[in-house]
């Protein structure tokens, strides 16, 4: 393989990191918002430039080869430099623009945050919030969003954050179906009525992993890549859904038919890049929404666990 000693495009490094993190060119493409064809082209270009194979490809997922692993550490260092530069630029630009880009999952956006935006804007009339539906931290690392509201994941070392509450899950069905089912005492009985499962995009979601471990896959009647669509399917009687209580409890036609052990608890975090944490708009975001989540902690615990 002929080596090319020319400059490396940072987009190629981003592709390597996304594939290494997700273990899949398909999921890596989804994380970056590019096509799978582009991912393959980036890897082919980089492998041609370096003269080495970057990934071991097998049916369980792609893993980065040991001799290519320095690409990951180099990519992380580049990200730190970019975050620092973005923070310095934003510090200068802050007086001219207080647009705040909020990365958030679709279920938290639709079922909780949107109703709060009016009050947030009223108390912070110099801030213009922009909701970005997303399910990973990449947008913050790359500077595509200013802050995020995230379930499930501790921000770790790259981001800074604040845990604001925990949310629980339970199985929900339509009230009509629940009457026909009667009182159930085991998960095996529940499986007889068909269960809605999570799709590949949510496979790392704690509730999806719990469902995969505890429920017979033959009992899954359909899978969904977003909670709102699954909720709609449960409302239409497609099957029973393991839903966040703050979602299921608010749908008038649904009722909880079975709590689960520990409620599949998931922490909710407010997070941002370290370079952003002292920006006035970011500080206002943390102050307002941390107070809101803590005031509504019982909403996220859910009716099935209130006793």
The predicted model gives 277-284 an average pLDDT of 89
Give residue-wise pLDDT tens across range 227-246: 889 999 999 999 999 999 99
In a domain, 5, yes or no: no
125 & 250 share domain = no
Query: Rg of the chain over CA atoms, in angstroms?
Result: 22
Nearest-angstrom CA–CA distance, 70 and 74: 6
243 & 200 share domain = yes
300 & 159 share domain = yes
Tokens standing for 44? 């082919």
44 & 100 share domain = no
Domain that holds residue 290: 77-166+266-305
Nearest-angstrom CA–CA distance, 105 and 232: 16
In a domain, 2, yes or no: no
The domain boundary, picked from 68, 94, 116, lies at 68
At a CB cut-off of 8 Å and minimum separation 6, what does 82 contact?
142, 143
Give residue-wise pLDDT tens across range 122-161: 999 889 999 988 765 555 666 678 898 988 656 555 678 8
Question: Contact, 273 vs 87, CB < 8 A?
Answer: yes
292 & 162 share domain = yes
The predicted model gives 248-272 an average pLDDT of 91
In a domain, 59, yes or no: yes
Q: In this structure, what CATH number is given to the domain that contains residue 207?
A: 3.40.190.10
104 & 246 share domain = no
Question: Contact, 143 vs 275, CB < 8 A?
Answer: no
- Residue 59 burial (10 A CB sphere; 0-12, 13-18, 19+): exposed
Nearest-angstrom CA–CA distance, 97 and 101: 12
Query: Is 115 or 139 the better-scoring residue by pLDDT?
Result: 115
Tokens standing for 30? 């989804």
Does this model's pTM top 0.85? My answer is no
Query: What DSSP state is assigned to residue 184?
Result: -
160 & 93 share domain = yes
Q: Which residues, listed in sequence order, are joined to residue 255 by a DSSP beta bridge? A: 173
The domain boundary, picked from 68, 85, 113, lies at 68
Long-range contacts of 287-292 (CB under 8 A, 24+ apart): 288/119, 288/120, 288/123, 288/124, 289/113, 289/116, 289/120, 289/149, 289/164, 290/162, 290/164, 292/116
The count of domains in the chain is 3
In a domain, 221, yes or no: yes
Give residue-wise pLDDT tens across range 15-32: 888 888 888 888 888 877
- Output the pLDDT for position 191: 87
150 & 225 share domain = no
151 & 176 share domain = no
Apex CA 111: angle with CA 174 and CA 26, to 5°? 95
Q: In this structure, what CATH number is given to the domain that contains residue 49?
A: 1.10.10.10
112 & 143 share domain = yes
DSSP code per residue over 27-53: HHHHHHTS-HHHHHHHHHHHHHHHTS-
| Listed residue (282, 173, 285) closest to 238, CA to CA | 173
Q: Where are the beta strands (DSSP E) in the chain?
A: 55-58, 61-64, 99-104, 128-133, 147-151, 159-167, 169-174, 195-198, 220-224, 240-244, 254-259, 266-273
24 & 157 share domain = no
The predicted model gives 40-60 an average pLDDT of 83
């Amino acid at each position: 393989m002929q080596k090319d000693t020319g400059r490396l495009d940072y987009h190629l490094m981003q592709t390597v990191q996304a594939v290494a993190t997700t273990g899949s060119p398909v999921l890596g493409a989804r994380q970056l918002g590019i096509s799978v064809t582009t991912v393959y082209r980036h890897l082919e270009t980089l492998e041609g430039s370096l003269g080495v194979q970057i990934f071991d490809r097998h049916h369980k997922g792609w893993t980065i080869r040991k001799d290519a692993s320095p690409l990951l550490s180099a990519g992380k260092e580049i990200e730190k430099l970019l975050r620092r530069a973005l923070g310095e630029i934003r510090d200068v630009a802050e007086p001219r623009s207080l647009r705040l880009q909020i990365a958030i999952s679709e279920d938290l956006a639709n079922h909780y945050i949107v109703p709060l935006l009016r009050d947030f804007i009223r108390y912070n009339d110099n801030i213009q919030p922009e909701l970005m539906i997303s399910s990973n931290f990449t947008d913050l690392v790359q500077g595509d969003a200013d802050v995020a509201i995230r379930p499930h994941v501790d921000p770790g070392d790259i981001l800074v954050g604040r845990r604001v509450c925990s949310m629980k899950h339970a199985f929900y069905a339509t009230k009509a179906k629940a009457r026909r089912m009667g009182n159930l005492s085991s998960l095996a009985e529940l499986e007889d009525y068909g269960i809605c499962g999570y799709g590949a995009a949510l496979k790392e979601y704690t509730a999806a992993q719990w469902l995969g471990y505890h429920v017979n896959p033959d009992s899954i009647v359909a899978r969904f890549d977003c909670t709102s669509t699954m909720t709609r399917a449960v409302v239409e009687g497609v099957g029973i859904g393991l839903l966040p209580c703050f979602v299921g409890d608010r749908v008038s036609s649904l009722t909880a038919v079975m709590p689960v052990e520990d409620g599949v608890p998931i922490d909710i975090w407010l997070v941002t890049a370290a370079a952003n944490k002292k920006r006035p708009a970011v500080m206002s975001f943390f102050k307002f929404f941390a107070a809101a989540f803590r005031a509504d902690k019982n909403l996220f615990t859910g009716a099935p666990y209130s006793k």
